[in-house]
Structure 1
Amino acid sequence: MAELLYRIGRFAARRHWSVIGAWLAILAVTAVTYVSFAGALSSNITLPDTPTTRVSQQLEEDFEGAGGGNGAIVAETTDGSAFTSEQEEALSDLFDRLAEVDGVADVTDPFETQQQVDDSARQVADGQERIEDGRAQLRTAQQQIDAGRDALAEQRRQAREDGTLAGISAQLQDAEQQLDEGQAELDRQRARLEEQAPQLEVGVTLSELSSGYRTVSEDGSAAVSNVVFDDPINEVTTETKTEIEEMAADAGIEGVEVHPSQEIAQTVPSILGPGEVAGVVIAAIVLFVMLGTVLGAALPLVTALLGVGVASLASLSFSGIVQFVSVTPVLGVMLGLAVGIDYSLFIINRHRRQLKQGADLHESIGLANGTSGNAVVFAGVTVIVALLALNVTGVDFLGLMGTVGAVAVLVAILMAVTLTPAVLSLVGTRILSRRERERLAAGERTHDEQITERDRPMSTMRACWVLGFGIAALLAVAAPATQMRLGLPDGSTQAPESAGYQAYEVQAEKFGDGANGPLLVVADLPSAVAEDDVVREQAAIGSEIGQLWSVEAVVPIGASQDRESLAFQVVPYGAPSSESTEELVRDLRELTPETAAGGEATLGVAGNASANIDISEQLADVLPTYLVLVVGLSLLILVLVFRSILVPLTATLGFVLSLLAAFGGITAIFQIGFLADLFGVHAPGPVLSFLPIIATGILFGLAMDYQLFLVSGMREAYAHGAPARVAVQHGLHAGRSVVTAAAIIMISVFAGFIFSHDATIKPIGFGLAFGVLLDAFVVRMLLIPAAMHLLGEKAWWLPRWLDRILPDVDVEGAKLERSHPVH
């Protein structure tokens, strides 16, 4: 591989205009394919065959009009007063116009709905009052009849004593007959009343269960309209959502603000905002300090940006065929920028060093490509494998994210080993500063590969202290990860000025937190119920659901066409991402309510909150498998590269430590709220569900990059006869400047995304930046050298049988250097 890359570097140096033109042509082609074939990005994350999707499919198939996605339009008065009749009419007209949008099945009028709810409650209350009045009247009439019978009995007794009974016998019989007839009528009225009572009791039960559900706030200042789509929410087109959002924004109702909910007003995150630009500027400053020239600083940036353009346009060209989650291209840009700059820097730095040693320009370019370029290819392939391994999780959107990231890294590698040599040939010795060129012209040569006094090994005591304190510090930072909860962003995590956030806040304040994440519950009955018994079954099952402590309201939706299932809308007490709602979903799925006809029903749960829980649980389940896969891959690759057992073990353990510490930092800031204001986190909540698995793959690859560039120098010095502990220091001194620069560049690029307005991008940017910071500066530059010092010669131990069967990959290109010495 090193020899091949050497030849590629020499070719690119000789034909630099051809190589540059080829890459510009590729960029043009990808731009054309993007314009021709790209589709819309989706902000919805879905998983096939989850409990939520199965219930959603059941609703779509068995319940008429219940299978489509849902969103909300939230209206509030600007002064907090109740809506006027003119405002209500204007809003009702808006809702009617929204219902005509293509792709919208129905838009409810919250004022009509609330009026129906109030009228139903009033009718139930009136019926209950009539029943009570009727019972009171029956009790009075019964008392009168009983009193008449007592009087009649007294009169009969008195007549018997007076001997006049025979004379009034007919009169007494008539009076007794009248009382019997009155009693019979009274019994008939009581029977009719008691016949109505069970139906009324069912009505009372349903009214009490749904009492917490409102579409107009109690103070009359806010209203929520439910928007029902023809298709599931993840299949609703961007055009439909945009049209609704624009109509809401242009409503123009005086004294009223209209906010579409997050499901409708979801925005695609910007790829390059002010934070991202600031990250690139910091990277440019680091490059200038490292390389000493403006031209040298510009080269890695130009190649990285060109690579990002090619990779992004090429990937997005397939977005018309495959559904892309909106965060997917942003991840590609993150990785493409970071590794693109770093990989080009590694080759440029090696080329500069060789020029200062007196190498010929084209020969130096070829050697830099065959040595550092070889390490770049190996490190990049490691990152690609880690990203592609995301496909084994079985999660489609996650596999696609990994694939797009892998494409970005692949393009960065190809750019580094072809375009970088071409541009280096074009700029010639101007890659060196003026002072360096003057020294070179004067015959001065550098020999920084030699062992010097600065390579004196550290003391064993210092190595012990560094290792012990470093491990303790990383474990302390990792401690919050023990409390990590996974979830997906809801409206509360959106930018405060966004419509989705404002809609969320209004609903939370006026209707309760649970109004932002109602659950759809389907009860499968043991057998079909008669049409007349549907309401009774709804009351029986709804009552058991309502007894769960975190339920605010239970509203019957209807029965399936075969009446074997009943559907309910359950409003939880807590927010969609709260622990109480998560527990409620589990409790509902475990609940087996008893039906009115006997037997037990089974419950299924759907809705946005339920879907988020399913996605988070599935990703949490595959994380350990993926982590084992990545750690195993790490061990195999490092054994192959360093021909050692203990070096891979220390490297892998170091990676696990830095990864756990990164998880701890993410949890502390984005879930617990530590330093939340500093990072612009206004609503701490669960950690982004796919962040741990994404961070594992990316940080693994990047950790192996730095491990290769630092420890390969140690191995090279040891192979050339330096004592093991001296080789550790020599390799560290030789590689730490370029690794430091590369790490700062990568941290800057990732950190630029922390200040994104998007709640999905922000934690990814922080997690990757913090992970690289810990791994590069704590693990690779402190813990690994200390551990290798303590291991000494044992660090390079390898069983003989394994040594015989392992191929010599020569990552650092030592054979190439021997065959092409720098003079």
Structure 2
Amino acid sequence: MAKYLYRLGLWAAKSRKKVLLGTLVVLIALGIAALSLGPSFSSELTIPNTPADKAGKVIGEAFGAAANPSAKIQVVFKAPEGKTLESAELQTVITDTLDAIGQDSGVAGVTNPMQLKNLSADKRIGYGEVSFKTAAGEVTEATKETIKHQVDIARNAGLQTETRGDVELSKGGEFPVEVIGIIAAFIILAITFASFLAAGLPILSALIGLGGGMLGIVLCSTFIEIQSVCLSLAAMLGLAVGIDYALFMITRFKQQLAKGFSVQESVAIANGTAGSAVLFAGVTVVIGLLGLSVARIPFLTMMGISSAFCVITTVLLTIVVLPAILGWMGHKLTPERENKLFKKSKANKQKASSSKWGLFVTKRPLFASFASIILLAVIAIPFFHINLGLPSDGTTKAKDTTERKAYDLLTEGYGVGFNASLIIGAQVDKPAEDSSQAIAKIQAEIGKLPGVQSVTPAIPAPSGKLYLMTVMPQTGPDDTKTKDLVKEIRNFSNETEQSDHIQLLVTGTTAMNIDIAQKLNDALPVFAALIVVLAYIILVLVFRSLFIPLKAVLGFLLSLGATLGFVVFVVQDGHLLNVFGFPASGPILAFLPVILIGILFGLAMDYEIFLVSKMREVYAHTGDPRKAILDGVRDSGKVVTSAGLIMISVFFGFMLAPDAMIKSIGLALAFGVLFDAFVVRMTLVPAVMSLMGKSAWYLPKWLDRILPNIDVEGESIMEEIGKKKNKKIA
């Protein structure tokens, strides 16, 4: 593989104009195609065939709504202090507002609070409903603007008016948070390379790869269902790994320049050596992402595929386009030009202290090991009371959005359980005259269950085989007690089936979210086990050792536990919410642990490969395990440190996004990289390897003969180049 990449790099450097022009043509073609077709992303996170999903389909068919995909929103009103919504003045405002909205061509119909008879106990809060003619994603901007305009008119009349539902009206005008991460990455790269030009090249390479990946995803969204969160996750990951991989390549390129190689030779060698590591590291990230499909959850699978596509695009750009860019501008990155930015005393000081951290860790391996393990274990403690769920407007929407204000008004008017309402379908096996009496009895029994605030009277379907009622819990949609209530009702269904031959079907948004969270929770152990086994096998192939991969996998589990523990500490337990900008505490995003395992696995293996591959190279030549550790920390530690800081910067930029879902993913990935790169890879890895000595590199001879030799460091290339030089000298 290294030899092929060497030839590819040499070709790209020599044919730089063709490569760059071809890349530009492809990007323009993708852009034109994506813009002409237009993006079509879904905002729904659903899992088919869960109990709530099946119940929803049965109820929809019974009441003739199965084929009705139209969206709905609630328009919530609150009367000013001292007035009620029953006053003639406010009734006129409400009627005029909803009637004006109803005249829009995209609106199917409206109902006002008086028709729905839903005024709160103090008569100050009520809500109307707006039904659209199309699904949420097809509602036009013109219709949204009509609704926002009428809502503003009602507000100007002194009536607080907010909206929430399938169609969001508060989107748009958001600051591109990616810019913050890019600026921070540029600063780190400028310090690392001591050159603004060298600092700009990794970002340029990453942006080209990211652009291709994003345009490809946008194009695919017109043909297959892709959730909008997939685009954010792919951008987050593609940008981070793109900069990191380019950093690794350019670092090796500059090292070859310093050794006297020409620009084109340096490009080819960097592509054959560092490019091999980049390709292998990218493969591990892609494997982790595609492994998300093991859960058999459609939106999670699409997240993995979208992100993997972006990573693949980034890797291809790194090993094809970046060599062309270096072939074009590499002569401006000479060591002599770099030294002008630094004083000699500073350069000498850096050279002398380059392995201080390695010396510190290897002299105190027991202390470093125990300190790292205890630190990560303590941070991981909150993980043991994790509560998984899906986002609600009360936990994900910023307090100044109309959706969050509507959520709070409904909670104020009807109780916290209003936003967690459960739809119960009572399915009668054989309709009879006494069916209504049995349903009334069941309704009364449900009302007595712990955690139930109220139950509406049962409404029969036209067939008489299904009765519909709504249960309002005493707790909110994110509360564990609401989950317990859903289980209670489903358990109660077993009793009603035996006694009355009536099955209870529980559905509604809250029930669906609970089922999705449970499905994801069930998939987590299988997925984690698969990733751990896969990581071990891959690292055995790379490092030809039984114990180094075991250490790497255990380190990954430690950093994963600490990351999840910290996220629970902040997001669920409500600590430091203002520091990180979360609107409120709430459950952990149900798919976050699975996403985190897939991504953090890939990134952890990246750092492991970058760091330990150098150690393996030195140990293979010297047989001295301590020298191998010191040289690895000295030569690769700077790259791992810079790469980790860049990753953290990019993910931190996404933490500033207003969407709490993206914010929580950014938080988890930023601190996951922090724990893994700096505590595990830069501290625990060299400390444990110091304790293990030569045994760290143990591999049975019979297994060594069987395993394929993966030349990640490109040793075969360097040997071949050395032989050619010797022949020329001779």
Give the TM-score normalised by the residue count of structure 2.
Answer: 0.92
- What is the match of residue 53 of structure 1? 53
| Matches of 1:33 and 1:67, distance apart in 2 | 32
SS at match of 1:571: strand
SS at match of 1:678: helix
1:243 paired residue among 130, 134, 143: 143
Residues 400-411 of structure 1 correspond to what in structure 2 (within 5 A)?
400-411=302-313
2:576 paired residue among 675, 684, 687: 675
- What is the match of residue 606 of structure 2? 705
Residues 637-676 of structure 1 correspond to what in structure 2 (within 5 A)?
637-676=538-577
SS at match of 1:798: coil
Residues 179-190 of structure 1 correspond to what in structure 2 (within 5 A)?
none
- What is the match of residue 309 of structure 1? 211
- What is the match of residue 3 of structure 1? 3
Deviation at residue 529 of structure 1 after TM alignment? 3.1
State whether residues 358 and 629 of structure 2, in contact with CA within 8 Å, keep that contact through their aligned partners in structure 1. no
Letter of the 1:85 partner, please give it. Answer: A
Residues 465-614 of structure 1 correspond to what in structure 2 (within 5 A)?
465-493=367-395, 494-530=397-433, 536-556=437-457, 558-592=459-493, 599-614=500-515
Per-residue CA distance 1:118-164 (angstroms, 9 max, x = gap): xxxxxxxxxxxxxxxxxxxxxxxxxxxxxxxxxxxxxxxxxxxxxxx
SS at match of 1:803: helix
Deviation at residue 19 of structure 1 after TM alignment? 1.0
SS at match of 1:677: helix
Distance 1:295 1:29, change over 3 A: same
- What is the match of residue 421 of structure 1? 323
Residues 755-794 of structure 1 correspond to what in structure 2 (within 5 A)?
755-794=656-695
| Matches of 2:467 and 2:132, distance apart in 1 | 21
Residues 74-113 of structure 1 correspond to what in structure 2 (within 5 A)?
74-79=76-81, 81-83=83-85, 84-98=87-101, 107-113=110-116
Deviation at residue 561 of structure 1 after TM alignment? 2.6
Letter of the 2:721 partner, please give it. Answer: H
Letter of the 2:191 partner, please give it. Answer: V
Q: Which runs of 5+ in 1 are unaligned?
A: 115-214
Q: Which runs of 5+ in 2 are unaligned?
A: 726-730
Structure whose alpha-carbon radius of gyration is higher: 1
State whether residues 170 and 402 of structure 2, in contact with CA within 8 Å, keep that contact through their aligned partners in structure 1. no
- What is the match of residue 128 of structure 2? 225
Distance 1:583 1:698, change over 3 A: same
State whether residues 257 and 335 of structure 2, in contact with CA within 8 Å, keep that contact through their aligned partners in structure 1. no
| Matches of 1:94 and 1:238, distance apart in 2 | 23
Deviation at residue 42 of structure 1 after TM alignment? 2.0
Deviation at residue 37 of structure 1 after TM alignment? 2.7
Deviation at residue 268 of structure 1 after TM alignment? 6.4
- What is the match of residue 731 of structure 1? 632
Letter of the 1:7 partner, please give it. Answer: R
State yes or no: 1:33 paired with 2:39: no
Per-residue CA distance 1:637-668 (angstroms, 9 max, x = gap): 00000000000000000001101110001111
State whether residues 101 and 244 of structure 1, in contact with CA within 8 Å, keep that contact through their aligned partners in structure 2. no
State whether residues 12 and 321 of structure 2, in contact with CA within 8 Å, keep that contact through their aligned partners in structure 1. yes
Deviation at residue 765 of structure 1 after TM alignment? 0.3
Deviation at residue 783 of structure 1 after TM alignment? 0.4
State whether residues 756 and 762 of structure 1, in contact with CA within 8 Å, keep that contact through their aligned partners in structure 2. yes
Distance 1:535 1:230, change over 3 A: farther
Give the TM-score normalised by the residue count of structure 1.
Answer: 0.82
Residues 239-388 of structure 1 correspond to what in structure 2 (within 5 A)?
239=139, 243=143, 246-251=146-151, 252-253=153-154, 254-265=157-168, 273=175, 275-388=177-290
| Matches of 2:355 and 2:39, distance apart in 1 | 61
Report the identity percentage: 38
| Matches of 1:775 and 1:596, distance apart in 2 | 52
| Matches of 2:239 and 2:166, distance apart in 1 | 31
Distance 1:540 1:226, change over 3 A: farther
- What is the match of residue 18 of structure 1? 18
| Matches of 2:373 and 2:436, distance apart in 1 | 63
Distance 1:678 1:498, change over 3 A: same
Distance 1:29 1:80, change over 3 A: farther
State whether residues 753 and 762 of structure 1, in contact with CA within 8 Å, keep that contact through their aligned partners in structure 2. yes
- What is the match of residue 728 of structure 2? none
State whether residues 525 and 595 of structure 1, in contact with CA within 8 Å, keep that contact through their aligned partners in structure 2. no
Distance 1:78 1:297, change over 3 A: farther
Deviation at residue 753 of structure 1 after TM alignment? 0.7
SS at match of 2:98: helix
| Matches of 1:263 and 1:456, distance apart in 2 | 55
SS at match of 2:122: coil
Deviation at residue 810 of structure 1 after TM alignment? 0.6
Letter of the 1:342 partner, please give it. Answer: D
1:623 paired residue among 524, 532, 550: 524
Distance 1:597 1:813, change over 3 A: closer
| Matches of 1:606 and 1:230, distance apart in 2 | 24
Range that drifts further, 595-604 or 638-647 = 595-604
| Matches of 1:466 and 1:684, distance apart in 2 | 34
State whether residues 754 and 765 of structure 1, in contact with CA within 8 Å, keep that contact through their aligned partners in structure 2. yes
| Matches of 2:497 and 2:549, distance apart in 1 | 65
Distance 1:589 1:98, change over 3 A: farther
In the comparison of the two structures, how many residue pairs are matched? 713
Deviation at residue 695 of structure 1 after TM alignment? 0.7
| Matches of 1:451 and 1:2, distance apart in 2 | 32
State whether residues 375 and 811 of structure 1, in contact with CA within 8 Å, keep that contact through their aligned partners in structure 2. yes
Range that drifts further, 741-750 or 77-86 = 77-86
State whether residues 426 and 468 of structure 2, in contact with CA within 8 Å, keep that contact through their aligned partners in structure 1. yes
Distance 1:759 1:453, change over 3 A: closer
Deviation at residue 422 of structure 1 after TM alignment? 1.1
State whether residues 45 and 397 of structure 1, in contact with CA within 8 Å, keep that contact through their aligned partners in structure 2. yes
SS at match of 1:224: strand
Distance 1:498 1:438, change over 3 A: closer
| Matches of 1:280 and 1:721, distance apart in 2 | 40
| Matches of 1:583 and 1:758, distance apart in 2 | 28
Deviation at residue 79 of structure 1 after TM alignment? 4.3
